Copies of this chain bind each other. A is one copy, B any other.
Amino acid sequence: MTKMVVTPWEVSGKIDYDRLIKEFGTQKIDNKLLRRIESHAGELHFMLTRRLFFSHRDVDWLLDKYDKGEKFYLYTGRGPSGHTHIGHLVPWIFTKWLQDKFNADLYFQMTDDEKFVFNPELSLEETNKMSYENALDVIALGFDPEKTFIFSDIDYAKTLYREALKVSKKLTFSTAKAVFGFENSSNVGQIFFTSVQSVPAFLPSVKAGKNIPCLIPYAIDQDAHFRVCRDILPKLGFYKPAAIHTRFLPGLKGPESKMSASIKDSVIFTTDSAKDAKKKIMSAFSGGAASLEEHRKKGGDPDVDVACQYLYFMFEEDDEKVKEIFEGYRSGSITSGDVKKMLVDKVTRFLENHQKKRERAKKKLDKFILTD
């Protein structure tokens, strides 16, 4: 088993989510909190009941504020290093549900500056262009154009840089080094960047001239940024943002890796053809026994089978069906081939639908993009 590494720039090894809660100092999402969310939303998203969203910070505080009439806004984002893949959609789909249920504004940050300074291979023109490609996927998910503000760090810099300076003045190199592991060879753009990632956590409060609570849904690997952010914001007179954390959708190559565009065929891009997606799924890591005969006899492990996991994370919303599939897979009555075929069907339909919406999003881009 490889060592677990979870930083904003690397996720590898077998992920122990309970350990992350301890190490990062977050709270486990418990039934009490779920009931509280349900009482406001009228229902619970399957990503909550299945504990894909497993951890949080201050969501109870956020709901206290909400109960007192202080509405919150949402903030999430994307590092546009390439095309969107399906793993990226998990927190976005949940964020849309939160927007719908709580009638919340959403600030969506495209960190094209980050991807440029951290990736030696990428030009600024490439990451900036990818911000708008990725924005199409956000829009295709159906966010409310009246309440959703997508911006590229590069193109919204006039607004962001001014506020980032305030954060940067409160962040010493030694803290940044301790949290992010910077070295002497780190470039000064990398060292500054987290200041920019903090800005959307208080920018609406600056604009409104009063504190507005903020909730940030994100994959747990981004936590370092928000530990720094939560430390600094009160020093600037703002609320600490609340947070809700998701697990990683495993890569197609197996459960011990996050999807990563840098590993060939480890991910399904939202822009993949149905044919390519099918090919990738059919050759994905399987949790079945060594042979079909053995699988029929002994069954397989749906918790490591990639197709089972994809159905669980995203593509099979019906809890009963998931139960059926997982039990069948465990008993051997459902084979790896069967679940792969189920997933291919679901993914084919999803991609067809998403790509149509993504195409239509091109005409709607202006309604969503925030610039200076």
Contacts and interface: CB of A to CB of B under 8 A. Distances in A.
Interface stretch (A2-10, A72-80, A167-175): A167-175
Contacts of A156: 158
A283 interface: no
Given A161-B161, A165-B113, A168-B117, A173 B185 contact: yes
B185 A174 contact: yes
A364 to B, nearest CB: 24
Interface string A143-175: 000000000001111101110111011111110
Interface in A214-249: none
Interface in A123-148: 124
Interface string A167-189: 01111111011000011111111
Where chain A touches its partner, the secondary structure class is helix
B173 A189 contact: no
Tallying the copies of this chain within the complex gives 2
Contacts of A170: 187
Contacts of A113: 161, 165
Given A155-B158, A184-B177, A189 B165 contact: yes
A116 interface: yes
A191 interface: yes
Given A124-B166, A165-B116, A192-B192, A172 B157 contact: no
Interface string A184-226: 1111111110110000000000000000000000000000000
A176 to B, nearest CB: 5
A372 interface: yes
Given A154-B162, A158-B372, A162-B124, A189 B172 contact: no
Contact of A188 (B124, B162, B168, B187): B168
Given A168-B188, A169-B189, 19 more contacts: A113-B161, A113-B165, A116-B165, A116-B169, A124-B162, A157-B157, A164-B189, A165-B189, A168-B192, A171-B188, A172-B185, A172-B187, A172-B188, A174-B184, A188-B192, A188-B194, A188-B195, A191-B191, A372-B372
